[in-house]
Amino acid sequence: MQHKNPKALNLIRFVSVDNMMKTVLDIGIEKTIAGVAAQIEHDFKRWELFDKTPRLASHSALGVIELMPTSDGTVYGFKYVNGHPKNTKEGLQTVTAFGVLSDVDTGYPVLLSEMTILTAIRTAATSAMAAKYLAPAGARCMAMIGNGAQSEFQAMAFKTLLGIDSLRLYDIDARATDKCAANLAERGFGIIKCTSAKEAVEGAQIITTCTADKQYATILTDDMVRPGVHVNAIGGDCPGKTELQRDILLRADIFVEYAPQTRIEGDIQQLPQDHPVTELWEVMTGAAKGRTSGEQITVFDGVGFAIEDFSALRYLNDQLDATGRFESLDMIADPDEPRDLWGMVMRAAHTVVKAA
């Protein structure tokens, strides 16, 4: 990842919300999801190269703010992300994010991007990519419990990567279900709006839970999960925040992104620390098995891991040459004489107009 203009190291690429939306629309949502998924899979297959650490979380009574760093030795990236389930009641997003990529050799940042939209894309891409290895062959029908900001992206990723064309939607707030159904109406799905989670899971081969609640919630009870089903559980992603009844986990084979982080944040926080889980990269590289039988229950306990954000930012950065959808941001103080930072500030006195 090179700076385009080595004489302008102070200028980094900035992708605003507006430019992110235009980028996604230029490329097309399906192609964007598929591109991000391919980059994540590529990076998961070189897992050993990355710095890995559970994310750094700052919890408060109402939510969490997290930093998610990683590096492959050439490029460094991090994401800032929050999770505040009560926000939507105040007209705010539950999850917002931005991220940075830097050049490891110089330490200089090269890209600053909005990541609220990109997080929804990378989360959906990760879920669908995991399901490629774990869902029953030929799955066409998915139940989606929790029809908020992530839901349409999840649906589109499962359509793009797995061919899911039948959706059974449920949310405790019927307006969220109506919104999700309306947004997906022209996207080639058969959609059934359900009035309970129990009704939603009927006949579904894949169950996605993407609810937001700051508690040990029970979105799925044991009796709702038939043999052979794949559960894509992405809403339980903080200490004290889960979606699945513990008994489901005890019957299932559990797959995670990075076990040390998921044991703190995922649904498996309900299990002993040594309960066996498989990391996705092991399945992708063939080091471990994914789905092995038609009767097996598989659970992807997705919490979101830094490498997925790194991959999504890499994908985005690679698109920018063609799309041109970025601005240059004067972000790094970079004097001509590196040790004359003082001089650079003082010389600016000639050009700075005093604020009134």
User: Which residues are known catalytic residues?
Assistant: 237
Nearest to 23 by CA among 330, 311, 315: 315
Nearest-angstrom CA–CA distance, 105 and 26 = 32
- Rank residues 147 and 245 by Cβ distance to ligand NAD and give the closer one: 147
For position 309 contacting ligand NAD by CB under 6 A, the verdict is no
- Rank residues 11 and 229 by Cβ distance to ligand NAD and give the closer one: 229
For position 88 contacting ligand NAD by CB under 6 A, the verdict is yes
C-alpha triplet 115, 178, 266: angle, nearest 5°? 45
Instruction: Report residue 138 as tokens.
Output: 């030929």
Nearest to 150 by CA among 33, 264, 15, 6: 33
Segment contacting ligand NAD by CB under 6 A, of 22-30, 101-109, 221-229, 232-240: 232-240
User: Smallest gap, in angstroms, from Cβ of residue 142 to ligand NAD?
Assistant: 15
Contact with ligand NAD (CB under 6 A) among 146, 284, 309, 326: 146
Contact with ligand NAD (CB under 6 A) among 100, 117, 129, 219: 219
Nearest to 68 by CA among 110, 109, 100: 100
Strand 230-233 with 327-330, pairing:
unpaired
For position 172 contacting ligand NAD by CB under 6 A, the verdict is yes
Nearest-angstrom CA–CA distance, 324 and 306 = 26
For position 211 contacting ligand NAD by CB under 6 A, the verdict is yes
C-alpha triplet 92, 20, 28: angle, nearest 5°? 115
Nearest-angstrom CA–CA distance, 187 and 180 = 11
- Rank residues 109 and 304 by Cβ distance to ligand NAD and give the closer one: 304
- Rank residues 278 and 325 by Cβ distance to ligand NAD and give the closer one: 278
Tell which positions 115-134 bind ligand NAD, by CB under 6 A: 119, 123
Binding site for ligand NAD (CB under 6 A): 83, 88, 94-95, 119, 123, 145-150, 171-173, 176, 210-213, 217, 219, 234-235, 237, 302-304
